[in-house]
Structure 1
């Protein structure tokens, strides 16, 4: 299960917590403009926008979990178990598989507006990457500096929602997640007035009482409400360091600690394997991993973007501690 968010100060930031019980040797993967993307049912793309993202450790093809292209368009795919429905090939549609969805969109389009138009003709087909790697049930948050949308593959095709809160978790579907925020409309970053009764006084005994009732568990619906509240009330300066730091704090409000979400014996738990943060204007990917609190950065624009070869950087997963004496 995962959580994605955007955050806007002077620039647009986007990223996600990748929560799962198993790591697939994730890598920062850069696809330069001339890397050839092969697709199952449509023609290959020989030239496209360059992109940077986090992908599974499969050298043959960049299986992106989240990514951003050189124009500032960013996407994250999140688990959508029990709801995602991939269809058969449809004549007259652009038939692509779910694992091709991020490369296809980031390779061809610059803005959320362009993507919304393109989605009218896209059909996600039920074709596995391989026998060893079947499709994951996913939905996607797509964002740029103008706003965000959510794309959900359902029985009757793709559902596309505007996303005014800039947040996505897993289940239930996005429209139901949005409706659930009505339950929290009285929450505030300010301490509340006593509206319980005029007959007696009640003490304001602590700061932060305006958020009493905000969920704190690790379920996807609770994480949606928690990070939506945190993001909506976040404050930071406009500098790169302050903006990036605040973004990690936003997603840190719903990170999963190893041991708190049991999956199976022996000792298998879901936890936040990594957190990503993209400065989409400058095409910089920042990340932290579960055992490495230090922020690591990779710059798309520092690479040879006219190359035809993938560029990989393995995630740094060992803790980096700075001793000062």
Structure 2
């Protein structure tokens, strides 16, 4: 079902990271979409054009679909499931750019150079309830978008229309809606990284056994509600790294707290959600890091001039050796 967080290191550089939690095998890999690319669309005959190059996790399904990534301007975006609440337009609108839900990340990364720019341009979109060819359903999605200044928003479209909301927590999971998650944090104001002080009960003084009592009550299950609280607490209190590689390492530890192993989150039809990969978007660097479930090796793809100005998209296989691999 997915969890996403932002993180800032000691140098002031921002990162967007996510787990991709799903039961259906998505088969994504690192992809680079060059500048000035034309996408076909399931919602509009003419498709749409992009200006900016970007990289992220995607797949060629008679046209590339990316579910997360970072562009050359330092904007990162990710799709997350919004089951039961997402509601999109029934039909295209003549004076707007009509997109299927699964096409929104492509448009954002290809045309938006900041969160402020997104807020200006989002009114031109009409997200239409069009089926995804892989899933054969209208995929219920919402989106987290951030930039290298640290700005972060959540985009949700429900029965009341589209909302673009600043994300002060810099965390997002799944349903319920984002504002509900923010209010729910009021139930966890007692959480802290240090231990609680002793407590008197009559003449008896109670003290905690060892360190860590400040996190008592931190939910440990795999619901989106609990993952939101857990990610917010751990992200807020994780030390700031002093390098890009240290930042990716720190993010991997943050996401470890919400990663879903195979077998522990099963449905009633025999399926099982698990964390198929973790994606790390280095916004200042313009690089994407992908870490799959079966092999913890991280594959890095950076936006080089050659890739940005290529005539066609570039795909990169995930590395399987136990080493850090870089594509420059």
TM-score scaled by length of structure 2:
0.91
Q: Distance in 1 between matches of 2:318 and 2:63?
A: 17
- Residue of structure 1 aligned with 2:109, choices 106, 128, 131: 106
> In the alignment, which residue of structure 2 is the partner of 1:5?
5
Give yes or no for contact 1:28–1:53 (8 Å, CA) kept in 2. Answer: yes
Give yes or no for contact 1:35–1:307 (8 Å, CA) kept in 2. Answer: no
2:263 pairs with 1:269: no
- Residue of structure 1 aligned with 2:44, choices 41, 46, 57: 41
Inter-CA distance 22–196: structure 2 relative to 1 (3 Å threshold)? farther
Q: Cα offset for 1:41? A: 2.5
Q: Cα offset for 1:265? A: 5.7
Q: Cα offset for 1:287? A: 1.7
- Residue of structure 1 aligned with 2:165, choices 151, 154, 161: 161
Q: Cα offset for 1:250? A: 0.9
Give yes or no for contact 1:256–1:272 (8 Å, CA) kept in 2. Answer: yes
> In the alignment, which residue of structure 1 is the partner of 2:297?
294
Once the two structures are superposed, the pairs formed by residues 1-325 of structure 1 within 5 Å of their partners are: 1-9=1-9, 10=11, 11-39=13-41, 40-41=43-44, 43-46=46-49, 48-55=51-58, 57-88=59-90, 89-130=92-133, 133-144=136-147, 145-195=149-199, 197=201, 199-264=203-268, 268-301=271-304, 303-316=306-319, 318=320, 320=322
Give yes or no for contact 2:199–2:206 (8 Å, CA) kept in 1. Answer: no
Inter-CA distance 131–201: structure 2 relative to 1 (3 Å threshold)? closer
TM-score scaled by length of structure 1:
0.92
Greater mean alpha carbon deviation, residues 101-110 or residues 86-95: 86-95
Inter-CA distance 185–59: structure 2 relative to 1 (3 Å threshold)? same
SS in 1 for 2:196: coil
Q: Cα offset for 1:61? A: 1.5
Q: Cα offset for 1:232? A: 0.6
Give yes or no for contact 2:55–2:71 (8 Å, CA) kept in 1. Answer: yes
Q: Cα offset for 1:198? A: 5.8
Paired positions, count: 319
Unaligned runs of 5+ in 1: none
CA RMSD in angstroms comes to 2.1
